[in-house]
Amino acid sequence: MRVLFLNPPFHPRFSREQRSPAVTKSGTLYYPKWLAHAAGVAIKNGHDVDLIDAPAAGYSVQAVIDRIATKNIEAVVCDTSTPSILNDVSVIEALVGANPSLHVLMVGRHVSSLPKETLAMSDSLEAIAIREYEYTVRDWLEAKACGADLSAVDGLVWRRAGTGEIVTNNPREAIKNLDELPFVSEVYKQFLHTPDYFYGHSLWPLVVFDTSRGCPYHCSFCVYPQAFSGHTMRYRSVANVADEFDFVTREMPEIKTVMLEDDTFIISKPRTLELANELIRRGNKLPFDANCRADIGSEGELLSTLHKAGARLFCVGFESGDVEVINGMKKNNDDRRDAKYHDEAHRFVRRCQESGIMVHGCFMVGNLNETPASMEKTLNFAKKLQPDTAQFFPIMVYPGTTAYEEAKKRNYIQIDDWGAWLTKDGLHNSVVTLPNITHEQLVSFCDRARRSFYLSPSYLLYKLKQSLKDRRELQRNLKGFVTLSKYLLRGSQHEKTETPPRQTPRHDTVTPVTSSPGSD
């Protein structure tokens, strides 16, 4: 079939795939990694594939409609997220309205967690893939191509034509052999403009791929393991990962770093060490960043070997400076470790710095046992840790997580509008109101914490020295600071006083992004 994989129009540079989808203050924009993986599988199986990342490239809904008509697209695989779902449904309605014979499959964490509720939102919605969807998309396309009944497509929830009955098929088993999947970077190279994508903590341009799927930990707020990839670890082979590093080095010379977007990079220390040694053996010169926990990888020898292999920075969810909050979010599988968590965090940051690896710290407020005092502990914790960069955000509870279910149970979520998960400009918002803290106060605290961290004299001096020492870091610091500075000054909850600037598309046939339902 002729199929379009679509990251649909919404706010310009809306980062739909990240763990907390939003327009980010640092300018960070995630690759549509899962969508690109599914596109790669469809190409491998003989389909005529197109891919559009509308928030990155500046495509409007009309531009997507025009492209579908020009290329005679028969099917669309449309990504979604919780804060954009109202917009995403309206986009699908517009596409189907322009081409009633179009087949549409919705994918993503939100629809995976609430498939029946989503299908009930509009008669234009036809089917939803549950959890990891590469092979569900493959089988759905095959069924559509030959007119087969959809009942045999595992991992699908769909609406039966004629009767409107919602059918839930058998669940799909998670992919065990990840080496079967095509390199996602090959799909990026074919369809995407790599300079569009930016991580505030990474060298630019970058590419993003995984070395594993799943996470054995059960943090209450973390959406990917709970709603998507599960808690069972699955690994790509060391050779397969190293081959993708080689591909990027050879075929994408503009790339300055790789972000390994595993839920947690260092789970199996022997396997991590084996990968590091293989990259060293191959002479890898491409730096890489990775998601990591602070309490599982602090051995100096392991960190030094990883740095020699290319490890540049670890992105770490430190979350909170209060032990009781850490315990309440089930950060550790063993509660006895909570008392040692902050000591381990300090030791991890110190040993990373000694090994030449930087740390990006993620801090969250608004967990269900949060207090004003625990929030201040978190800010002090962040300052004492002294990571290279930091982000502070209010808790974002998403369907499919235990944090969401617990917040609903306690009546802490008092806003039913999915669009309220964002501010008017598409920034992170919180819909959680605790007994002693409102959601507005959570956002306001994060604005204050961000200013306090980034504008401290000691931090500014550190960044000046870093920028003078390394021109690559100077480029990153300038690019990130230009975007972040306006939010340091005005915060997140400001009111718009004028029409926001339009994003200029790169393609003559593309019109600017327009406002759509749910975006304001």
Residue 511 has pLDDT above 70, yes or no: no
Percentage of the chain with pLDDT > 70? 90
Among candidate residues 308, 206, 188, 337, the one with its CA nearest the CA of residue 260: 206
DSSP 394: E
Interacting residues of 37 by C-beta distance below 8 A, sequence separation 6+: 134, 181, 182, 184, 187
Contact present, 154 and 131 (Cβ < 8 Å): no
3-state DSSP assignment of residue 514: coil
Residue 506 has pLDDT above 60, yes or no: no
Q: For residue 415, what pLDDT is reported? A: 77
Average pLDDT, the chain: 89
Chain-centroid distance, C-alpha 83: 13
Q: What is the pLDDT of residues 214-261, one digit of tens each?
A: 999 999 999 999 999 999 999 999 999 999 999 999 999 999 999 999
Name the band, by pLDDT with cuts 50, 70 and 90, for residue 466. Answer: confident
Residue 44 has pLDDT above 60, yes or no: yes
Contact present, 107 and 130 (Cβ < 8 Å): no
Supply the Cα-derived Rg of the chain in whole angstroms: 22
Name the band, by pLDDT with cuts 50, 70 and 90, for residue 496. Answer: very low
Contact present, 147 and 111 (Cβ < 8 Å): no
Among candidate residues 120, 176, 177, 129, the one with its CA nearest the CA of residue 154: 129
Instruction: Please provide the distance, in angstroms rounded to a whole number, between the alpha carbons at the two ends of the chain.
Output: 36
Torsion of CA 457, 459, 464, 467, to 10 degrees: -170
DSSP codes of every residue in 245-271: HHHHHHH-TT--EEEE--S-S-SSHHH
Q: What is the pLDDT of residues 279-332, one digit of tens each?
A: 999 999 999 999 999 887 678 899 999 999 999 999 999 999 999 999 988 887
Name the band, by pLDDT with cuts 50, 70 and 90, for residue 498. Answer: very low
Average pLDDT over every residue of 199-214? 94
3-state DSSP assignment of residue 3: strand
H helices present in 386-470, as ranges = 402-409, 439-454, 457-469
Q: What is the pLDDT of residues 421-457, one digit of tens each?
A: 898 889 888 888 999 899 889 989 998 999 899 888 8
Percentage of the chain with pLDDT > 90? 70
Average pLDDT over every residue of 136-165? 94
* Cβ neighbours around 299 below 10 Å, total: 15
- CA 11, CA 361: separation in Å to the nearest integer? 26
Residue 336 has pLDDT above 60, yes or no: yes
Q: For residue 516, what pLDDT is reported? A: 31
- CA 375, CA 61: separation in Å to the nearest integer? 41
Contact present, 80 and 119 (Cβ < 8 Å): no
- CA 341, CA 331: separation in Å to the nearest integer? 9
- CA 236, CA 213: separation in Å to the nearest integer? 9
* Cβ neighbours around 53 below 10 Å, total: 27
- CA 305, CA 276: separation in Å to the nearest integer? 7
- Type of residue at 36: A
Contact present, 42 and 74 (Cβ < 8 Å): no
DSSP 437: B
- CA 33, CA 99: separation in Å to the nearest integer? 27
CATH numbers and ranges of domains, the chain: 2-168 (3.40.50.2300), 199-490 (3.80.30.20)
Q: What is the pLDDT of residues 152-187, one digit of tens each?
A: 999 999 999 888 899 999 999 999 999 999 999 999
Residues written for the chain? 520
Q: What is the pLDDT of residues 66-118, one digit of tens each?
A: 999 999 999 999 999 999 999 999 999 999 999 999 999 999 999 999 999 99
Q: For residue 487, what pLDDT is reported? A: 59
